[in-house]
């Protein structure tokens, strides 16, 4: 056996020594020495190690295309452009936008943004200077990562000055931090200029009748990204403090554009009557530890820009545990997170007690609270209580939420599978595969970052392309240690974990879809076969060769076209979704504390090999099983895993 062959054999036999294929440092060192020798021997050759030629396929074959550009009219210096289109991942996260007009090519740099499929750009003074006032025809292209989008032609109305009118000032019954809508024309965003509503008058307290002078300036922002006819102003405690009472005076809107042009609306009479804080509702009325409860009401105070202001919720009543034992609760004053004048959020913080997760506020994992809730607002040394309202809440079973994050490398790898057109449809199929494996347990897999669970109460699992560890693994759980009892709801399976690297194991985690191409007899990857890659499997080429040779189209994925071709495309789509989903479920299983949850802390896989067992070692889970092919067992939990899952995430 060759040096590389011996090293690979050692790596494969070592797979059981860690999660997701952890390998000993000694074995990795052996492979590195052999690879170096093989590389020296291959100098001057036209092929890479293992006799594999570099891929001639262009992973960026699908050219990006702009389909729409949204902006407020007219376009000003500082206007933010929202550019959307197809295959925009190809230009990366920070592309340049070329604006061509009148023979001039102007370049804008992307603003920080995380929404897939769109980019934001701020119109520069140079663009306005070249285009001038009036209508202008422009040609737009995105450029990044060595590729450029198709040209997109647009027509802009550009201005260097803008009028400002306001129809009326706020009036009537309001609460502190209520958002008032100003109607008129000429409202601009914060990147286009500075706009303020200037209130001058008198505030009279409802109780006692004391008066105080008011001279306050409050920011005004447009109500819509592309509209200039409505502005928003938040009626803060600057208008007389937190007490109920009446402001009477005038409001005038002042604005200075980025260009330096100053504008001012006519003064309007303004009379508003402020009420105290109120509670309306709490949702959901049943939730688990780590959940975020949304509290609706009015007159809430707080926010990062108001460090001396806050809102409290006083709860008191009776808490009844799941076993029926009832005990007095509170009064307890909780500090929710401020969102706006009508919304605060209360987090049911998780805490580990006696090897199990409980809600810190209740000291229990399950139960129900019935009682009263009272809003309290504080501004400096002033404090005001609202009226108490009935409050009922059920603390439900612990739920493990996991957010799947698909990285750019995943979408590049889809192209290598001939399934780039499946972007947007294969992700939900992967979610269904994971949830099917964990059916019957409180496992909730999502494609979007959860907003109803705190950041400390959901896991993240990244799905990418190449194995950044260079080992050819399908996946790796790089979270810290075996979490028996699933006491960490917040594991990050992805990125780099320094603690894991210090143990001598690969530091990068997640699911590595490109490594699955090593199952092919012709992987077409421009790198040598890595250490933990599988041997070629004929079934893989039977599943994917047809779409790798002729990439699937959107129509074929939708079931249109020749029946035989649609069947081939559907089989490849289902197989890839199943393989990726099964691999993700396996790595996720590690983060839940499996396999052998009641066994040794260093046991990460099943000792025995049985058909369909999810937590078997990689080499014991064949392709047909992972891809849900006929004649193969379906992936499921084995041995003491079902009982363990029922204990930690049972309904």
**Segment 26-83, tens digit of pLDDT:** 333 343 444 433 333 333 332 222 223 333 344 435 689 999 999 999 999 999 999 9
Model confidence at 335, pLDDT cuts 50, 70, 90, reads very high
* CB-count burial class (<10 Å; 0-12, 13-18, 19+) for 2: exposed
Which region holds residue 418: left if phi is over 0, alpha if psi is between -120 and 50, else beta? Answer: left
Domains of the chain: residue spans and CATH:
65-143 (2.40.30), 165-275 (2.60.40), 288-395 (no CATH), 400-649 (no CATH)
Q: Report d(CA 219, CA 234) in Å as an integer.
A: 8
Q: What is the pTM of this model?
A: 0.80
SS3 content of the chain, % helix, strand, coil (to 5): 20, 35, 40
Quick check: 128 and 104 in contact, CB under 8 A?
Answer: no
Q: Report d(CA 14, CA 607) in Å as an integer.
A: 13
Tokens read off for 336: 């929710």
Closest CA to 593 of 325, 307, 357, 338: 357
Q: In what order do the strands lie in the sheet with 343-347?
A: 278-283, 292-298, 343-347, 337-340
CB atoms within 10 A of CB 642: 14
Quick check: 581 and 432 in contact, CB under 8 A?
Answer: yes
Q: Report the range of poorest mean pLDDT among 260-264, 425-429, 528-532.
A: 528-532
CB atoms within 10 A of CB 634: 12
pLDDT digits (tens, 9 = 90+) for 508-522: 899 999 999 999 999
Q: What is the pLDDT of residue 506?
A: 55
- Residue bearing the bigger pLDDT, 58 or 142: 142
Quick check: 284 and 393 in contact, CB under 8 A?
Answer: no
Q: Kindly report the length of the chain.
A: 651
- Helix 563-591 to helix 426-437 angle (10° resolution) is 50
pLDDT exceeds cutoff 70 at 582: yes
What contacts 543, CB < 8 A, 6 or more positions away? Answer: 571, 572, 575, 627
Q: Report d(CA 349, CA 457) in Å as an integer.
A: 8
The three-class DSSP label of residue 294 is: strand
Return the H-helix or E-strand segment holding 30.
helix 25-41
Q: What is the pLDDT of residue 264?
A: 97
Section 615-643 average pLDDT: 96
Tokens read off for 507: 């530091």
Section 81-90 average pLDDT: 93
């Amino acid at each position: 056996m060759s040096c590389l062959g011996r090293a690979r054999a050692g790596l494969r036999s070592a797979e059981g020594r860690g999660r997701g294929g952890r390998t000993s440092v000694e074995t990795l060192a052996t492979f590195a020495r052999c690879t170096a020798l093989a590389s020296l021997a291959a100098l001057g050759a036209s092929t890479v190690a293992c006799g594999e030629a570099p891929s001639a396929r262009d992973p960026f074959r699908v050219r990006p295309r702009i389909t729409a550009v949204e902006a407020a009219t007219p376009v000003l210096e500082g206007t933010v452009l929202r550019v959307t289109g197809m295959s925009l991942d190809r230009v990366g996260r920070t592309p340049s936008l070329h604006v061509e007009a009148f023979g001039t090519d102007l370049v804008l740099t992307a603003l920080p943004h995380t929404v897939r499929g769109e980019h934001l750009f701020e119109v520069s003074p140079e663009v306005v200077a070249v285009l001038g006032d009036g209508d202008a025809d422009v040609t737009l292209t995105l450029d990044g990562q060595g590729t450029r989008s198709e040209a997109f032609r647009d027509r802009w109305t550009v201005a260097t000055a803008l009028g400002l009118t306001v129809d009326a000032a706020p009036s009537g019954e309001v609460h502190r931090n209520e958002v008032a809508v100003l109607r008129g024309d000429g409202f601009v965003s914060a990147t286009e200029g500075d706009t303020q509503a200037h209130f001058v008058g008198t505030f009279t307290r409802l109780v006692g009748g004391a008066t105080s002078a008011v001279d306050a300036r409050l920011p005004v922002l447009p109500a819509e990204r592309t509209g200039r006819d409505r502005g928003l102003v938040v009626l803060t405690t600057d208008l007389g403090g937190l007490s109920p009472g009446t402001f009477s005076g005038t409001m005038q809107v002042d604005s200075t554009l980025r260009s330096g042009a100053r504008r001012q609306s006519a003064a309007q009479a303004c009379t508003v009557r402020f009420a105290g804080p109120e509670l309306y509702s709490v949702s959901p009325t049943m939730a688990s530890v780590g959940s975020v409860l949304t509290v609706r009401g009015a007159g809430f105070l707080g926010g990062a820009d108001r460090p001396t202001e806050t809102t409290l919720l006083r709860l008191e009543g009776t808490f009844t545990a799941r076993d029926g034992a009832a005990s007095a609760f509170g009064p307890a004053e909780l500090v929710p997170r401020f969102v706006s004048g009508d919304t605060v959020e209360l987090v049911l913080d998780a805490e580990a007690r006696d090897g199990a997760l409980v809600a810190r506020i209740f000291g229990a994992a399950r139960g129900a609270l019935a009682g009263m809730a009272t809003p309290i607002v504080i501004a400096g040394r002033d404090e005001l209580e609202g009226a108490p309202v009935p409050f009922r809440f059920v603390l439900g079973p612990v739920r493990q939420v996991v957010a799947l994050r698909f990285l750019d490398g995943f979408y590049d790898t889809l192209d290598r599978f001939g399934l780039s057109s499946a972007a947007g449809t294969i992700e939900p199929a992967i979610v269904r595969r994971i949830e099917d494996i964990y059916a019957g347990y409180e496992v909730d897999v999502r494609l979007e970052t959860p907003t109803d669970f705190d950041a400390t109460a959901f896991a993240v699992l990244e799905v990418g392309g190449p194995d950044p560890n260079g080992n050819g693994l399908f996946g790796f759980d790089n979270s810290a240690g075996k979490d028996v009892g699933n006491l960490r709801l917040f594991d990050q399976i992805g990125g780099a974990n320094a603690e894991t690297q210090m143990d001598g194991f690969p530091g990068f985690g997640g699911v590595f879809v490109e490594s699955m191409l090593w199952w092919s007899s012709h992987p077409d990857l421009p790198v040598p076969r890595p250490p933990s890659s599988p041997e070629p499997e004929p079934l893989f080429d039977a599943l994917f060769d047809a779409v790798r040779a002729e990439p699937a189209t959107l129509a074929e994925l939708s079931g249109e076209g020749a029946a035989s071709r649609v069947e081939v495309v559907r089989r490849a789509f289902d197989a890839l979704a199943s393989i990726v989903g099964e691999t993700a479920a396996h790595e996720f299983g590690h983060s839940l504390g499996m396999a052998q949850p009641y066994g040794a802390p260093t046991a990460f896989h099943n000792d025995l090999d049985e058909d369909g067992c999810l937590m078997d070692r990689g080499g014991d889970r064949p392709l047909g099983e992972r891809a849900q092919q006929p004649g193969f067992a379906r992936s499921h939990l084995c041995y003491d895993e079902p009982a363990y899952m029922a204990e930690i995430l049972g309904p």
